Amino acid sequence: MKKLLITTMAVLILGVVAFTQTDPFQTLLGPVSKVEEWSYTVEEEFGNAVEVWDAHSVTMYNTDKNPIESIHYTETGSIGERYIRTFDSSGQLIQVVKYNWLGGIEGKTFYTYEGKIQITRSYDGSGHLKSATDVELDEHGNSIQVTDYDVDSGDIALRGYNTYTADGEPLSTRIYDDKGEIFMEMDWQYDVGEMSYTVTGATYLLGNVFMKTESRMVPNKTDEHGNWTEERKYEHKERFGKTEWALTNIYRREITYR
């Protein structure tokens, strides 16, 4: 029974991706044409922190700063996945096509709009429906309510609500299951006048807290346009009888401007 509950929880967490808000301070400033990003996990070897390759991607932007193409590379430098995005004349996303390393289609996602509702349907490479989500947007294009459906029954599987600061940065997320019970919550706290922030989260199982997380993001390098070029992630961990902030990830970006 316990194994079944944990497996169910893992499946639900994977489905939460649709509810995830854009990370704070991700809006790119200036005439951006390309962003190349590397991410590393930080591991300990003989008492020293060592960076270990985790991911590498390149994203191309059109003149409206919409991300029209993204390529994810393997550690050896070969193409792993490629995404092509299509936007309409008003800048709304209408299609994403995912290609594998051989150039074959792995999936397609279509976006249609009914007023402030973004209707999202994703299909695998064989054309089978894999996910169905409706997103309610505010006047700034932020997602304020997300409804995820079971693709077999058409019933609601999860429903989430997002709030934002006056500057449009994420403030809170609450996700509920098909019975209306709380499933996950996240809250953001910002350092005044800085780009650093702390995220706390909790996942619930059968009405009880199943897992808690607390992480801190610190952009410690920026370029002349004010975009971060290096960001560090810390997690609050208990270790050797005390609680401390441990460096877990490093992200670096090279941004090309027009």
Q: Any idea which of 20-24, 95-99, 109-113, 226-230 has the lowest mean pLDDT?
A: 20-24
Q: What is the pLDDT of residue 95?
A: 97
- What mean pLDDT do residues 111-117 have? 97
Predicted TM-score (pTM) of this structure: 0.88
**Domain total in the chain:** 1
pLDDT in tens, 115-150: 999 999 999 999 999 999 999 999 999 999 999 999
Q: Which of 208, 211, 231, 212 is nearest to 220 (CA)?
A: 231
Judged against a pLDDT cut of 50, whether residue 2 lies above it is answered with: no
pLDDT in tens, 80-103: 999 999 999 999 999 999 999 999
pLDDT in tens, 172-196: 999 999 999 999 999 999 998 889 9
- What mean pLDDT do residues 67-85 have? 97
pLDDT band at 18 (very low <50, low <70, confident <90, very high): low
Judged against a pLDDT cut of 50, whether residue 11 lies above it is answered with: no
SS3 content of the chain, % helix, strand, coil (to 5): 5, 65, 30
CATH of residue 150? 2.40.160
Judged against a pLDDT cut of 80, whether residue 1 lies above it is answered with: no
Which range marks the domain in which residue 132 is found? 2-257
- What mean pLDDT do residues 47-60 have? 96
pLDDT in tens, 205-252: 988 999 999 999 999 999 999 999 999 999 998 888 888 999 999 999
CA distances from 27 to 33, 79, 149, 169, 234 (A): 13, 26, 29, 10, 22
Q: What is the pLDDT of residue 65?
A: 95
pLDDT band at 19 (very low <50, low <70, confident <90, very high): low
* CB-count exposure of residue 19 (10 Å: 0-12, 13-18, 19+): buried
Q: Any idea which of 7-16, 63-72, 186-195 has the lowest mean pLDDT?
A: 7-16
CA 125 to chain centre: 22
Per-residue HEC secondary structure of 187-199 comes to EEEECCCCCCEEE
Q: What is the pLDDT of residue 171?
A: 94
Q: Which residue has the higher pLDDT, 74 or 22?
A: 74
CA distances from 60 to 63, 72, 167, 197 (A): 10, 12, 26, 27
77 DSSP assignment: S
Judged against a pLDDT cut of 90, whether residue 63 lies above it is answered with: yes
Mean pLDDT of the chain: 91
pLDDT band at 3 (very low <50, low <70, confident <90, very high): very low
